[in-house]
Amino acid sequence: MPTAEELRSKKQVHYDDVKEGQEMPPYVIGPITPTHIFRWSAAIENWHRIHYDQDFAVYHDGLPNVVAQGTWKQSVMPQYLKDLCLPDGWAWKVSFQHRAMIVPGDTLTCHAKVTKRYVKEGLGFVELEVGMKNQDDVETCPGSGTIVLPLRGGRPVPYPFVPPKE
Amino acid sequence: MATAVTKLTPEVKAMVGVQGEFVEASWWVVEKEGLRRFCQALMDPDPRYWDDEFARTTRYGEVVAPHIYVSYLGRTSPSAGDPVSRAFKEDPVSDGIGGVWEARGGLPNVPTDLKRILNAGNELEVYQLPTLGDRIYCQSRYASIAERTGTDGSPMLIVTTETAYYNQRGDLLCVTRASAIRR
């Protein structure tokens, strides 16, 4: 994952820089520990015991271990797309399904591949196939996203973001 | 020959479009310490979320929060007592979430005997980021309810709830859609 300094000085990726079929730079997160999972529960005040009480997770709910929260994945995926767009692009949409569980010891790779690109109202729209795979190449949340990038020499992506007229 | 009984009853179908109240999402404003804890748990060190001086040089002009932060602001108000103690008093083997967490402006329950709830997926649309001091408001509705058959042949419902979040000026910040499997 990028550091604060890398995010501070990140250079803009322009629409002109991406091609259909291109893999965007991945994120690697982990290994995930029970402490990471507990810290997320504490931060958002999610007291579901399957996230920090191993006996409850295993013996009551029949899970392999404590498991990472869907809300964490729901937050990391937009973060990944946001970082791809920095400093002045916009991560407009993301959607995904929850598939495989994330458990302590997992190392995760967020990935994105360009499936379509088009220009509308002077802005570059890039559609992506996205996901987060574990170290065994198992997909935990397959989905899609749309990011908006400026064209080289084009107008800035508006903020607040205004979607194009259909 | 037996006919499968649909779980997508007229009463269930009637829930599509039903809205919750327009409510303030949190008992307090977007503030720096809660944001610090959230971003560290997310493992997002972006200085746009904490460095005032740097944030002034960005397109935002001030410290902002990740849009998804607004969906976790429904924390327990001090006036609500201690929901954790209450839950374990009622059920010594509480799972720690049933009866503990209640969404503000919550929707009425979907009238179904399918009790198990699984998180199926999420969809997010983002328009503007919250800033420090913002008061966040939200309104939820049932966007769609569909019936599917599980791999074991049992019926299930896919219930999608849409929530729109706004700041105190009425600006739309983001829209979230959460799909839950009821089986």
Q: A4: which chain B residues are within 8 Å (Cβ-Cβ)?
A: 45-47
CB burial readout A93-126, b (16+ within 10 A) else e: bbbbebbebbbbebebebbbebeebeeeeebbbb
Instruction: State pLDDT tens for residues B141-167.
Output: 999 999 999 888 889 999 999 999 999
**Contact yes or no for A95 and B72 at CB 8 A:** no
Across residues B58-85, what is the average pLDDT?
89
**Domain limits, chain B:** 10-30+104-182
Across residues B107-118, what is the average pLDDT?
86
Phi then psi for residue A157, to 5 deg, are -70, 125
Instruction: State pLDDT tens for residues A5-45.
Output: 999 999 999 999 999 999 999 999 999 999 999 999 999 99
Domain that holds residue A117: 12-31+73-150
**Contact yes or no for A95 and B47 at CB 8 A:** no
- Note whether residue A25 is domain-resident: yes
- The enclosing domain of A106 has a CATH number of 3.10.129.10
- Note whether residue A21 is domain-resident: yes
Q: Has residue B1 got a pLDDT over 60?
A: no
State the ipTM, two decimals. Answer: 0.95
Query: How many separate domains does chain A show?
Result: 1
Q: B72: which chain A residues are within 8 Å (Cβ-Cβ)?
A: 43-45, 71
- How far away is chain B from the Cα of A155, in angstroms, using its nearest Cα? 14
**Contact yes or no for A159 and B101 at CB 8 A:** no
- Structural element, H or E, at residue B55: helix B52-56
Instruction: State pLDDT tens for residues A37-93.
Output: 999 999 999 899 999 999 999 999 999 999 999 999 999 999 999 999 999 999 999
Q: Has residue B116 got a pLDDT over 60?
A: yes
Closest CA to A107 of A77, A75, A135: A135
- Note whether residue A132 is domain-resident: yes
Farthest CA pair distance, chain A: 59
In this structure, whether the domain defined by B10-30+104-182 belongs to CATH 3.40.980.10 is answered with no
Q: B25: which chain A residues are within 8 Å (Cβ-Cβ)?
A: none
Q: Which two tokens stand for residue A80?
A: 């990944």
Q: Has residue B104 got a pLDDT over 70?
A: no
Q: A88: which chain B residues are within 8 Å (Cβ-Cβ)?
A: 59
- Note whether residue A6 is domain-resident: no
- Note whether residue A41 is domain-resident: no
- DSSP structural state of residue A159: S
Question: Chain B 37-56, CB below 8 Å of chain A: which residues?
Answer: 37-38, 40-48, 51, 54
Backbone φ/ψ region at B157: left (φ over 0), alpha (ψ -120 to 50), beta: beta
Across residues B76-96, what is the average pLDDT?
86
How many angstroms separate the CA atoms of A14 and A87, rounded?
11
For residue B83, what pLDDT band results from cuts at 50, 70 and 90?
confident
Q: Has residue B183 got a pLDDT over 90?
A: no
